[in-house]
Amino acid sequence: MGVAESLGSMVKAFPQARLVAFADLSSRMILASAGPMSVTQEHLDRLCNAARTSFDDPLFSLSVGAFGEPHCAVVMGPDSVRLFLRSDTEPADALCCICDPGIDLAAFVPKIRETLESITHGG
């Protein structure tokens, strides 16, 4: 299954996921995206920057010292939820998601992790 198809499957399985995007955090680029949300290139750039900021100091170092390197971040705002997931094996590979506040994170996070690892390993 290609990247676009993998992302599309996630959006189909979780209608409250408005945007699912595959990013290369090292080059700050969204490489593919899927979902009903209409976004511009600038919005995607901002989403990618938010992902990088989530995994940045000072809170990144606190997490590393306390529990280990974080691979998952959830950012909750006034009216949206953003989820950022870094690959366990290729940390620059990430999935960036914009979700409705009612998203079932307990169900969504494991599935998005499977999808990311599948993409990273060329599945």
Question: Cβ contacts of residue 99 below 8 Å, gap of 6+?
Answer: 14, 16, 17, 18, 80, 81, 82, 83, 108
Which of residues 13 and 113 has its CB atom nearest to another protein in the complex?
A: 113
Work out the widest C-alpha separation in the chain, in whole angstroms: 39
Q: Which residues bind another protein (CB under 8 A)?
A: 2-5, 18-19, 22, 27, 29-33, 36-43, 45-46, 49-50, 53-60, 62-63, 66-79, 81, 98, 101-106, 109-110, 113
Q: Which helix (H) or strand (E) holds 24?
A: strand 17-24
Asked whether the beta carbons of 100 and 80 are under 8 A apart, the reply is: yes
The whole-angstrom separation of Cα 14 and Cα 12 is 6
Supply the minimum distance, in Å, between the C-beta of residue 57 and another protein.
7
Supply the minimum distance, in Å, between the C-beta of residue 94 and another protein.
14
Supply the minimum distance, in Å, between the C-beta of residue 67 and another protein.
4
Which of residues 13 and 28 has its CB atom nearest to another protein in the complex?
A: 28
Which of residues 13 and 29 has its CB atom nearest to another protein in the complex?
A: 29
